[in-house]
Each structure stands twice: as C-alpha cells, then as structure tokens.
Amino acid sequence: MLLSALLFIPLLGGLLVAFFPKERTREIKSFALIVSLIPLALVLAVWRQLDFSLPGIQLLERAEWIPSLGITYQLGVDGISFPLIAVAAVVLPLAILASFNIEHRVKEFFVWMLVLQTGIYGVFLALDYFLFFIFFEVSLVPMYFIIGIWGGERREYAAMKFFIYTLVGSAIMLVGILALYFGSGLEPRTFDVLVLAEQANLSPTLQWWVFLAFFAGFAVKVPIFPFHTWLPDAHVEAPTGGSMILAGVLLKMGTYGFFRFMLPTFPDAAKAFSPVLATLGIIGIVYGALAAMAQKDVKKMVAYSSVSHMGYVVLGLAAMTPMALNGAMFVNVSHGLISPLFFFMVGNVIYERTGTRMMDQMGGVFSSAPLVGAVTAFTAFANLGLPGLAGFPGEFFTFAGAFPVFTAFVIIGALGLAVTAGYHLWMMQRVLMGQPVALAVQKDLVGREVLVAAPLMALVLLLGVLPGIALNLFNEPLAVLAARLGGM
Amino acid sequence: MVELAWLIPLLPLVAAVVIAFLGKRLPGQGDRIGIAAISMAFVLSVGVLVGVMNGGTAAGSVTWAIHGDLVLRMGWEVGGIGAVMLVVVTLVSLMVHVFSLEYMKGDVRYQRYYGVLSLFTFSMLGLVLADNLLLLFIFWELVGLCSFLLIGHWYEDLDNVRAANKAFLTTRVGDVGMFIGIMLLFSQAGSFRFDEIAAAVAAGDVAGWALAAGAILLFAGAVGKSAQFPLHVWLPDAMAGPTPASALIHAATMVAAGVYLVARAFGIFEPSDAAMSVVAWIGAITALFAATIGVVMEDIKRVLAYSTISQLGFMVAALGVGGYTAAMFHLMTHAFFKALLFLASGSVIHATGTQNMHEMGGLFKKLPITGWTWLIGAGALIGIPPLSGFFSKEEILIDAYAANPAIFWVLVAAAALTAFYTTRATYLTFFGAPRDRAAYEKAHEGGMVMTYPLIILGALAAVTGFLAGPFADLVYYGHPHRAEFNTFVFGVATVVWVAGVLLALAIYKFNLVSRRRLIQAFYPIWMLLKRRYYIDDLYNLVFVRGTIGLAMVMAWIDRTIVDGIVNGVAWATRKLSGFIGEFDLGVVDGAVNGIAGAFVVGSRLFRRVQTGLFQSYALVLFLGLVAGLVILVIGG
C-alpha cells in the first residue's frame, strides 16, 4: 500500500485543492506544500524497507486490472527507480515552495502541480507498460498548462512545442509497446514489464524496430541531440517551479526509460546501437556546452547545460560497464539536484529581482546581495563538476567507466570539461562580479528562498563528499544489468 | 604522532567552516580561529616530521565508492616527502596568516579572505596526504578553486576577475590532460593508488605506450598548476590578488602542487624515458624563458611572478633528470625564500602604495627590516653561498650536469638571468635615489605582525641549506642519493651569478651603459619580452576567441538548422494534415523570410493547433496504432 499511497496522495491533494475557494491563495499554497511533503515522508519509509544489496524489484504491489488484455496494476521499486523517486520527492515540494510567488490563477496552478506529481511518481513506479504509458502521458498535460499559462512571453509557442514534440515521441513509443505486446510470443499476452524483460522472445528484426520506437519516445524526453530543441524554449518560458521540475525530474524519465525498459528488454539491439548512442551522447556533451557558452540569456544557458549534462548519462548508458552505468545514474541524481537549484537561482531569485534574463544587463550581484551571489556561485561550481560537490563523481565515473569502451569519445568529452568551466566562469563574471549595475539585485535572499536552496545545497555537498550514499542504492541492480548486457 | 597526520588538514577545514558561518560574530571576524588552527596544524606537522625521521609511517582509508565488485577507497598516507611538505605548507601558511593581520586590516572582505586562506591550506594539506590519484585530483581542483577566489578577491574590478578566470581556465586545460591520464592509468593498472600503479608498472602490467602517455598526460596537469611553459600565462596575472595570498599561492601551495605531483607519482614517471625527457625539457625551457621576461618587468610582483615560474622550471627539470631529492629540496628552500620575497614586496607595497619599481628607490633606509630580509631572500634566489638557495640550486645543477649537459647549460643561462633580474629589482626598489618623493616620505615599516614573519622566513631562507644532509636521508626515490660536490659545476655557477649581479649593478647603479641606449639597441628583443613573447595575445586570439566563435556557430546551427528542421517538420505536417488553410501565406512567408519565416510560421502553427489540442492528440495516437500494425506485419 505504501507505493500506492505515495502515488495517489498528490492527485488526491490536487482534487481537494480544487474545492478550495480560489481567493484563499495562502491556504492553497500551504496545503499544496504539505501534500507534496507526504510523499517525501513515505519515501523515507520505503528507504527503510528496501534491501539495496538485492538487485530485483521490491515492495511489489499487484492487482488485476484488465485481465483479458493482460493489463495489470503493478507497482514496485528497486535501486534504479528509488533514487529518482527520492530526488523527485525532494525537488517537488521545493518547486512548490519556490512557486509561492505565483499570483495569477493560483488555484489552477497548484492543482496542476499536484496532478503532475502523481504522473511523475507513476512513471517511476509502474511496472506495466499500459500503466506506465498512462502516467508518461499524464505527466505531460499539467506541464503543458504550467508552461502555457504561467510562462514567459513566448509561452504558448514553447508549451505547444514541448507538448507536440514529446507527444510524437511517445506515440511512436506506443507503437513500440504494442509491437512488443503482440510480438513477444508470450501466451497469454501481457504488458508486464518484468515478464517481458525476462521472457519476451522477439525476432532480431522486431527487437531492432521496437528498440528504435522506444528510443524515439525516450530520446525526446532526455533530450538526446538532435531532439533537444524543445528544451531551451520550454525552460526559458516555464515559470521557475516548472523549470525546476522539468530539469530535475522530467528529463530523468527519459534516461530512466533506458535503464528500466530498453537495456533489460532489448539487450542485443541496445548493444548494436551503443556506438550510435555514444556518438549522440558525446555530441550532446560538447555541442550543449558550446551552445551554452554562446547564450546571452542566463536561463537559456542553464537549459543548454542540461543538454550537455544529459549527454553524460547517454554516454554512460552506451558504455554499459558497471562503472559507466553507475556514473550515468549518479549524474541523473546529481543533475536532478543541481539543475533545480540553478533554475531557482537564475529564474526565481535573480530574474524576479532584476526583471531581465540577459547577462550583459546584470552585474555586481556579489556586492549588492552577497548570499544570492554565494549560492549562485556554489551552484555554478557544482554544475561545472567541481570535486567535492555532487557534479563531479557522476562525471568522473561515467568517463572512467566508458574510457575502455569509447576511448576517443571520452577524450573529446574531457576536452568539453574546459568549455564547461569556461561558460560557468564567464557567467559568474557577467552576473556576479564587477560593480552593481542599474538593474542590480538589491534584496538578498529571504527566508523562503533559503528554505528552497539550503536542502539542495546540503544534498549536493553530501553526495559530492560521500557519493557512496547514492551509489550503494543502485550499484547492485546496475551490476546485474551490466552483466546481462555481456559486461562490455 | 604520525598516525594523527590525518588531523592536520582537518584543523584548517574546521576553521574555514567556522569563519564562514560564524565569522561575523567573532572577534577579528574569525582571523584568530584561522591562526589558531594553522598553528596547531604546524605543531602537529612538526611532530609528524619528527616521527617520520625516526622511521615512522602511517596510512588510513575509508570506502568511497563501489562499482560492481570494484571497491574504491580514499586514503591518506604519510612518508618522508609528505612529512616535509606538511611542515613547509603549514609554516608558510602560518606566516601568511599572521602577516595578513595588518596587511589586510580593514579590507572589505576580511572575513572571506581568512576563510579562503584556511580552505586553501586544507586543500593543499589534503593534496599532500592523498594516497591515490583520484583524491589528489579532488584536492587539486579545490586548490584551483581557492586560488580563483583569492586572485579574484577584489572582484569589483573586472580585471581581477579576468585574472582569476584565466588562472582557473588555464590550469583546467592542464587538468583535462591529467584527468585523461588518470583514466588511462586506471584502465591499465586497475587502481588509482600511487603504490599499486607503481607496482603494476614495475610488474610490466602497463603497456609502454600507455605508461608514457599516462605520465605525460599527468604532467599536463602539473604544467598547468606549476605554471610551466606553455600553460604559464595565468601566473603573472594572478598577481591581481592580495600580496600575502600571492605568497601562499606562489611559494608553498598551488604552484608547488604540480612539482609535488610529479614527485609523488615518480614511480609512473621514472620508468618512462620519454616522459622523463618531456619533463626535463619543459622544465629547462620554462626556467630560461621565464627568466628572460623577468628581466624587463617593472612591477615588483611581476618580477617575482616570472621568477617563480623560472624556479619551478628548475624543479621540474631536476625531476626530469632524475634529481628527485634535489627538486624537492629546492621546492622547500624556494617556498621559504619566495614567501619571504613576496611578503617583503607586500611590505614595500603597503608602505609606498605602488607596485612599480620605477616609482620606488632608496627604500632601504626607510624599511630596514624589510630591506635586510629581502636581501637574504634575493641572495638565496640568486644562489649566493651559504644561503639556502645556493645549496638546492647547486644540487639541481650537479644532477643535470651528470644526466644531460644540454639541460645543464640551459639552466646555467637561467641562473645567470636570475642573478641579473634579482639584482635589478633589489637595486631599483631599495637603493639609489627615491624616484617618488611623496611615497618615499610616508613609507614606514609595518608593525610586528608584518616584520616577524619576515624575520622568521629570513632566518629560514638563510639556514635551511645546511639541512641538505638530513633532507636527503628523508626524501628520496629508491635509495638515498645526495649530489656529490662538483668543482666544475660550482665554478660555472659562481661565475654566472657574479656576472649577472655585476652586469645589473653596472647598468642600474653605475650607469656604465645607458638603459635607453640598451633598449634602442635591442628594441625588437625588448619588445618581444615586454609582450611576453606574444603568447598571451596568441592564446587570446586562438583559444578564447576561437572557442567563443565556435560556440556562436554551434548556437547558430542549433537555432536555424536543428530547430529549423523541427519547425519545418511542424510546418510541413500542418500542410499535409490540412489543419489550417492559408496555404499560400505560409509558402510566401517561408519563401520570403527564409528560416526566420519558418520560425514564425511554426509558432503560428503551434498557436492554431492549440485550439484542437485533444483532437490532434487522438489523431496522433490513432496514427501511431496504424503504424504499429504496419510494423507488426513487417516484423511479424
């Protein structure tokens, strides 16, 4: 019941918010925050019950749903989904807290934020393709409205682009799911993820096609170059709470798809495809970093840096060694903490105070608002992979793990590290240093903002110093996965 | 005592945290916490050194990460070289902490300054104790961060920020090489630990090419950190930071890290002749090249900066010719006399308010303590017996002479230039007639906290040379080795330093040759040196502008081509599915406005489609189902 409670409490909370009088905005905000904290408590309870030395699914909850079609309501967690659920449980309440300054159509906003949460938890918990696909789509709709209604100037374009792009991807994936369902050779037919991963017997040709169909769905979500152009638009236009969830959680649905579905179910196709995947990953790393460097809009810069960082995950997935998979998963977690913090600082704190996202109109934040400067600098250093903070271990393990497999790519990617340092330093020079300018940030961080930033900073530091805390969660299942993939 | 060595870095770390969070409420904004912590760390370090001299060693580690069956442990280890480094780092850091009490008094960010000093000391001490390449690299980057923070201390001035960025990025370029080197060595030896990699090398488990490549890539990191050619460009600009911080960065910490890395990983370097040649030649070239620039600098700190690069070149060259003990000995003596020279220059700058030596002159009378201690430091730098620098430089020259005469002669030339530029700087600053009367009149010696560190470092710069014997018994690779006195080397070294000093005096004191005539006669060379061989300009053009240009091109491609295709597909889909009319307008728009037009149309499309959102959703799903059946038939 624990997992079902975790899954549906936000939805229930959202429904309850719908009954609030819409002018009681303070109550709506507080209630939404409290509801979103319940899953965090449940995640801690789940943590206590899980045994991370076991590779398999635990806490399985299963009920027949549409038996005639082989559809079940099936939830479960393991070391692969748990860290992402935990990151979501931390980031989602903070995104709600960060959105307390929303003044326009407050009730609707928080309803969507809570509905979105159920969609997110559902994606990471569902172990039935039919159920999974529903949540995968459910998570799309609230975000469409969050961007489209509460976004910036070009919000409609960005929201539509995000929606249609993801939709086309997931429609192709749906084709793949159906092909897997019909082509698995299992009797009776089933949508059960675990059974299909273990027993599906697809012809090589079909495995290849289904793999590509899944790839279309998840590649858009990650996003993998060249399917990434919705991301800068969506991030820039989304309200800060939306950007935090997009970067911190939604992108991870894409990479999660590789870990949970694609590599275990289509190992042969995945291995055959891995050079292509590695190529796209390395292009994402370098290209994303260079594109980030060219941006004048600070939010866009952070958005492109996400493209670059997700490239590490893709590279690690392609390499398929235990260390590379661990590194990729670790980047999922660390980016899930760092990027929301970054979007919060540039979107909520700096943009709200200056009214501009253009870096050449900023300057001197360090002098006029030292805490804002310090937290932004901390975040930038975490994002550029400074050792001691959470950005480093994932990068390092991904590269070191991929080095024996894709040596040349890793060397190119390592050169990208210099570019990454470059654009972060340049950003700090333009935004934080120098004399305060006319549009300067005048007010330093206030209590609510400290409450958003502090937990993320603490976790970023903790995982940077002791990466084992996260690695121990997923080392075992990923080691098993790597072995299944032939221990490349 | 030795087994407590792990406490030594933790003390300044605790101080840094306390200063950061409580500094505002503490007396002196926490400066005393920093000094107390570093003092305790120094006392402990001395205890560890004594313990190690009596044959003690200690190590410890904790599990850090597990990948599959591979367990990565992070640990510390202290032996001869580590114990010496601990004492040198904590001692110089303590002197800098104390000196800064007065020098930085009233600074806008006094609290931050002391916090970063402590963090810097922590990082360097952690680097010294690390027992594996990965942990060393972690502290290595933290050292880089701290120097970034110190160089950019006065960040209101964007020139300082640029200097800080330049330091971080230039060293990062080297670090990329080091990073690749670590991965390469790990992939070959299966470990990050120095001893295990060295054992794998000794056992022949590491391929020859990989060993050479791995060592040279590691060395790239050292080239960045220790400001060796061609990554030396950051160091002179780093003088933008507060002068006592320069003493810390350029004497005992940041720049020493590169040399220390090569020494610590000597089991990887020494077996590879190719790597050793690269190390030796980079060091020798740097030693000479930086010394030539030091000759024409006018800023007292920049003279010291180029001198630092040059002296680091001596150490690196010594390592390259196998002179492990000589290099580390020079690292120690240099740490003392260069910290002294930086702090003395800080005293001069504090007294006069200028860094330009042409605005100084005659200050010896006004600043006797600074003057005398400077003379000791300068003498040590030139290598005048019996000051400390004489012994260590002599050892390097002897080892170079025995191993590779070409390297030896390059270093001799550098030594001659060292004598010249040091004498020049000394004379311009402290002797002759004051050239800025107002600055001269108000100049006076600082208080005790400034003079005592000078006196202590002066004493060390004078006498540590006599420790060569015990040092060689403690710090060695393989078996103890001490360079044998060589009359020829001694004779050559003496002739060149005397010549360098006399030439400088002839020009600057006795005016036997007019400086203006000299400049005119050698104008192209003078200009080349003044512009630092145009290397900074070249890098700016090729790397900085090149990278930014490439970034712009990528961003353009992303906006117009990659995203253009997306919008184009959306546009085409719209036409095909016949959602909307206005076909002609779309075509005209697209044709006329080109790519920008497609963008506009795309956005218009998205706006229109919104009205039919759920219909289109259903349509796409339906199309998906159809396509699925088709695939089933094909793949069936």
Digit-coded pLDDT (tens) for A23-78: 888 899 999 999 999 999 999 999 999 999 888 899 999 999 988 888 999 999 99
Tell me the mean pLDDT in the region B345-372: 88
Q: Tell me if B547 and A415 make a contact (CB, 8 A cut-off).
A: no
Nearest to A325 by CA among A487, A197, A120: A487
Within-domain flag for A160:
no
pLDDT band at B625 (very low <50, low <70, confident <90, very high): low
**Chain A with chain B: Cβ pairs closer than 8 A:** 198
Is A366 near chain B, with CB under 8 Å? Answer: yes
Residue B592 has pLDDT above 80, yes or no: no
Query: Model confidence at B447, in pLDDT bands (50, 70, 90)?
Result: confident
Residue A338 lies in a domain: yes
Q: Give a yes or no: residue A408 inside a domain.
A: yes
- Output the six-digit token pair for A72: 């079940």
pLDDT digits 0-9 by tens, A277-294: 999 999 999 999 999 998
Q: Looking at the domain assignment, is residue A113 inside a domain?
A: no
Please determine, for residue B600, whether its predicted confidence score (pLDDT) is greater than 60: no
Which chain B residues in 158-187 lie under 8 Å from chain A, judged by CB atoms? Answer: 158, 161-162, 165, 168-169, 172-173, 175-176, 179-180, 182-184, 186-187
A484: containing domain: 267-488
- Is pLDDT at A187 greater than 90 in this prediction? no
> Hey, is B479 helix, strand or coil?
coil
Whether the pLDDT of residue B556 is over 80: the answer is: yes
| Contact (CB, 8 A) for B362 and B441 | no
Go through B467-488 and write b for each residue having 16 or more CB atoms within 10 A of its CB, e for each that does not: bbeebbebbbbeeebbbeebee
Please tell me the distance from the alpha carbon of residue B58 to that of residue B52, in angstroms, as a whole number.
Answer: 9
Percent share of chain A, pLDDT over 90:
66
A141 touches chain B (CB under 8 A): no
The letter for the amino acid at A411 is I
In terms of average pLDDT, the best of A237-241, A328-332, B155-159 is A328-332
What average pLDDT is seen over chain B? 86
Question: Does pLDDT of B633 surpass 60?
Answer: no
- Provide the token pair at B286: 């740097």
Best of B17, B179, B599 to disrupt the A interface (most A CBs within 10 Å) is B179
Q: Provide the β-strand partners of residue A358.
A: A297
Q: Is A294 close to B570, i.e. CB distance below 8 A? A: no
- Looking at the domain assignment, is residue A484 inside a domain? yes
Percent of chain B with pLDDT over 70: 90
Q: Minimal Cα–Cα distance from B598 to chain A, Å?
A: 13
At B578, is the pLDDT very low, low, confident or very high (cuts 50, 70, 90)? low
Put simply, the answer to whether A425 touches B623 (Cβ < 8 Å) is no
Decide if A109 is inside a domain: no
- For an interface test with B, which of A52, A433, A437, A461 has the most B Cβ atoms less than 10 Å from its Cβ? A433
Average of per-residue pLDDT across B153-181: 91
CB contact under 8 A, B627 and A392: no
Report the residue from A179, A294, A366 with minimal CB separation from B628: A179
Residue B572 has pLDDT above 90, yes or no: no
Average pLDDT over residues A120-143: 92
Q: How far apart are CA B129 and CA B8, in angstroms?
A: 9
Flag whether residue B22 sits within 8 Å of chain A, measured between CB atoms: no
pLDDT tens-digit readout, B300-357: 999 999 999 999 999 999 999 999 999 999 999 999 999 999 999 999 998 888 888 8
Q: How far is A294 from chain B (nearest CA, A)?
A: 5
Whether residue B595 is predicted with pLDDT greater than 50 in this model: the reply is no
- What's the per-residue H, E or C state across chain A? CHHHHHHHHHHHHHHHHHCCCCCCHHHHHHHHHHHHHHHHHHHHHHHHHCCCCCCCCEEEEEEEEEHHHCEEEEEEECCCHHHHHHHHHHHHHHHHHHHHHCCCCHHHHHHHHHHHHHHHHHHHHECEHHHHHHHHHHCHHHHHHHHHHHCCCCHHHHHHHHHHHHHHHHHHHHHHHHHHHHHCCCCCCCCEHHHHHHHCCCCHHHHHHHHHHHHHHHHHHCCCCCCCCHHHHHHHHCCHHHHHHHHHHHHHHHHHHHHHHHHHHCHHHHHHHHHHHHHHHHHHHHHHHHHHHHCCEHHHHHHHHHHHHHHHHHHHHHHCCHHHHHHHHHHHHHHHHHHHHHHHHHHHHHHHHHCCCEHHHCCCHHHHCHHHHHHHHHHHHHHCCCCCCCHHHHHHHHHHHHCCCCHHHHHHHHHHHHHHHHHHHHHHHHHCCCCCCCCCCCCCCCHHHHHHHHHHHHHHHHHHHCCHHHHHHHHHHHHHHHHHCCCC
Q: At a CB cut-off of 8 Å and minimum separation 6, what does B91 contact? A: B42, B45, B252, B460
CB pair distance less than 8 Å for A161 and B617: no
Taking the C-alpha atoms of residue B226 and residue B90, their distance in angstroms, rounded to an integer, is 19
Over 50: is that where the pLDDT of B608 sits? no
Chain A CB contacts of B115 below 8 Å: none
Given this model, what pLDDT does residue B579 score? 45
Taking the Cβ of residue B192 and every Cβ of chain A, the question of whether any pair is shorter than 8 Å is answered with no
**Is residue A350 very low, low, confident or very high in pLDDT (cuts 50, 70, 90)?**
confident
- Which residues in chain B have Cβ-Cβ distances shorter than 8 Å to A175? 624-625, 627-628, 631
pLDDT at position B589 is 42
Name the one residue in this structure whose structure tokens are 């899953």: A39
Residue B521 contacts A, CB cutoff 8 Å: no
Residue B436 has pLDDT above 90, yes or no: no
**Is A351 inside any structural domain?**
yes
> Considering CB atoms only, which of B64, B139, B627 is closest to A468?
B64
What's the confidence (pLDDT) of residue B621? 59
pLDDT tens column, B87-102:
999 999 999 999 898 8
Task: Please report the pLDDT score of residue B624 as a whole number.
Answer: 59
DSSP state of B62: E
The answer to which of A293-297, B413-417, B443-447, B569-573 has the lowest mean pLDDT is: B569-573
> How close, in Å, is residue A306 to chain B by CA atoms?
15
Judged against a pLDDT cut of 80, whether residue A300 lies above it is answered with yes
Q: What sign does the dihedral B89-B95-B96-B101 (CA atoms) show?
A: positive
Partner-chain contact A422 B547, CB within 8 Å = yes
Averaged confidence pLDDT in chain A: 91
Q: Answer whether residue A394 is part of any domain.
A: yes
Q: Which of B154-168, B277-291, B433-447 has the lowest mean pLDDT?
A: B433-447
Does residue A120 carry a pLDDT above 70? yes
Count of structural domains within chain A? 1
| pLDDT on residue A367 | 85
More confident residue, B432 or B344: B344
* Local confidence band at B627 (pLDDT 50, 70, 90 cut-offs): low
